């Protein structure tokens, strides 16, 4: 990214860490490279777990899961999904073994 903006990695790193102010022109260049609006970068909220940007005729739609309670719920749901997938994979392996045993007889 630093190379594309024709700046040193250190200068770009300071921008990413918020240690250096960015002028409007530079912000627009960064936004263009990332495929977002400059406003999306300047108003980014670090409490968001994620932000999805969908460009439909220059209209950006933001959807986000953000507060702590929602974050905890989201993480629990992901954990439960992973457990369910693991249980289903175990069942599939057991059924496959039964099928193979039946074919052998």
**pLDDT computed for residue 105 by the predictor:** 72
Q: Is the pLDDT of residue 88 over 90?
A: yes
* Structural domain of 49: 9-65
Alpha helices by DSSP H, 1-105 = 9-16, 24-34, 38-42, 68-104
On whether both 61 and 78 belong to a single domain, the answer is: no
CB proximity list for 35: less than 8 A, separation 6 or greater: 53, 55
User: Rounded mean pLDDT of 24-30?
Assistant: 89
**Neighbour-count burial for 31-67, b at 16+ CB within 10 Å, e otherwise:** beeeebbbeeeeeeeeeeeeeeeeeeeeeeeeeeeee
The count of structural domains within the chain is 2
- Lowest-confidence segment of 17-21, 31-35, 41-45, 80-84 by average pLDDT: 41-45
Q: What is the pLDDT of residues 29-71, one digit of tens each?
A: 888 888 888 887 887 766 565 555 555 444 444 445 455 666 7
In a domain, 4, yes or no: no
On whether both 81 and 36 belong to a single domain, the answer is: no
If we measure between CA atoms, which residue out of 19, 17, 22 comes closest to residue 5?
22
Token look-up 């039946």 returns: 102
């Amino acid at each position: 990214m630093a190379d594309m903006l024709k700046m040193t990695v250190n200068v770009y790193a300071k921008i990413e860490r918020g240690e250096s102010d960015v002028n409007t022109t530079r912000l627009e260049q960064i936004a263009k490279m990332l495929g977002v609006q400059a406003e999306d970068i300047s108003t980014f909220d670090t409490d968001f777990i994620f932000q999805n940007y969908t460009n439909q005729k220059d209209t950006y739609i933001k959807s986000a899961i953000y507060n702590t309670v929602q974050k905890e719920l989201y993480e629990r749901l992901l954990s439960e999904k992973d457990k369910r997938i693991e249980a289903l994979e175990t069942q599939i392996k057991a059924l496959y073994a039964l099928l193979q045993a039946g074919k052998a007889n």
